Amino acid sequence: MTLFKTPESRIVQDPRWLQPLSSPPGGRPQGREPYLKHMATLLSDVFTTGKGRNLFILGKPGTGKTVCVRFLLQELQRHAEQEEIPLAAVYVNAGKTRTPYYTLLKIVQNLGVDVPPSGWQMFRLKHAFEAVTQETPVVVVIDEVETLLRKEKEPLVYYLNRQPHTTLILVSNKIEDAADLPDSALSTLQPQPIGLTPYTPDEAKAILRERVRNALHPQALSDHLLEIVAEFAAKAEDIRLGFSIIRQAAHTAEQHGRRTIHPDDVKTAFKSETRLIQLRDILENQSAIEQLRRRR
């Protein structure tokens, strides 16, 4: 018997759609249309003058910042191609690159410059970046930018902002960072702050429903249980929590050889979520837990 062969799952169809870093199944973030339109309007000068407004996108973890900016970049590129307007749009996650050097290295590489992984000094990277912006307007998204803002007196973002034809989209889940930026930074960057609010229970439900439709077999999760999970994810203000509850509940149901997820499976998943400990206290006598009890 091979070690990893598992029986055909009766609950899960495609687990990828419940992974915390997965993209929306339809490609487009749900329920964020007004924000996306607002961002697009602020950026639209990039197609005429070569520079749009700098944006500062803020919101708690799991409010869809990364998924929205990635979609925005795709749409920018698509429009530029359709209209045959030269434009380069790149994404970098400063939470991963950590230092200004590696962040700029990644940006330059993503712009298509062939840079060896080490050996180029900062000035050479800057030179390469400037060579690109001479030719093409550039939109740079720096996700988890707080890593850079905290580190240096003269962050990389100021350097980038001083370059012609460069538009910056900064993204952070540390809302206090925007407030802490020195006035001088705000006056040079003049970023337009856009705060993504946490999802309402209805929005969370729509997002989770789309995932469930793709990830689980039909009828594996009742609408009623989906609603309860969505309510918790909205209360926790992090949609990822909904993904993780459903993943765990599906796993438990599967271990019991069931075809559908029971309220108890969801309850067990809630219990194992450390992030929910405080919430559980608050909600102990409230609707969601009560509903689960009644269903036993």
Ligand X SMILES: Nc1ncnc2c1ncn2[C@@H]1O[C@H](COP(=O)(O)OP(=O)(O)OP(=O)(O)O)[C@@H](O)[C@H]1O
Contacts to ligand X by CB under 6 A: 20-24, 29-32, 59, 61-67, 173, 207, 239-240
Nearer to ligand X, 161 or 173 (CB): 173
The item of Mg ion, ligand X, none sharing an interface with residue 29, based on CB under 5 to 8 Å by kind, is ligand X
> Interface mask (CB under 5 A) for Mg ion, residues 42-81, using x and -?
------------------------x---------------
Which of the choices Mg ion, ligand X, none does residue 205 contact, using the CB cut-off of 5 to 8 A by kind? none
Between 24 and 258, whose beta carbon lies closer to ligand X? 24
CB of 270 to ligand X, least distance (A): 19
Contact partner at residue 61 from Mg ion, ligand X, none, CB < 5 to 8 Å by partner kind: ligand X
In this complex, which beta carbon is closest to ligand X, that of residue 156 or of residue 204?
204
Q: Which of residues 246-265 bind Mg ion (CB under 5 A)?
A: none
Instruction: Kindly state the smallest distance separating residue 292's Cβ from ligand X, in Å.
Output: 24
**Measured CA angle at 238 (ends 232, 239), to 5 deg:** 80
Identity of the residue, 61 or 136, whose beta carbon is nearer to ligand X in the bound complex? 61
Q: Rg for the chain (alpha carbons), in Å?
A: 22
31 contact choice in ligand X, Mg ion, none (CB below 5 to 8 Å, kind-dependent): ligand X
Work out how close the CB of 69 gets to Mg ion at its nearest, in angstroms, rounded to a whole number. 8
Q: Which residue is nearest to Mg ion (CB)?
A: 66
Q: Residue 32's binding partner, choosing from ligand X, Mg ion, none, with beta-carbon cut-off 5 to 8 A by kind?
A: ligand X
The site for Mg ion, by CB under 5 A, has a size of 1
Beta carbon nearer to Mg ion, 62 or 263: 62
Burial of 117 per CB tally in 10 Å (0-12, 13-18, 19+): exposed
Which residue has the CB atom at the shortest distance from ligand X?
64
In the complex, the residues that contact Mg ion under the rule CB under 5 A are 66
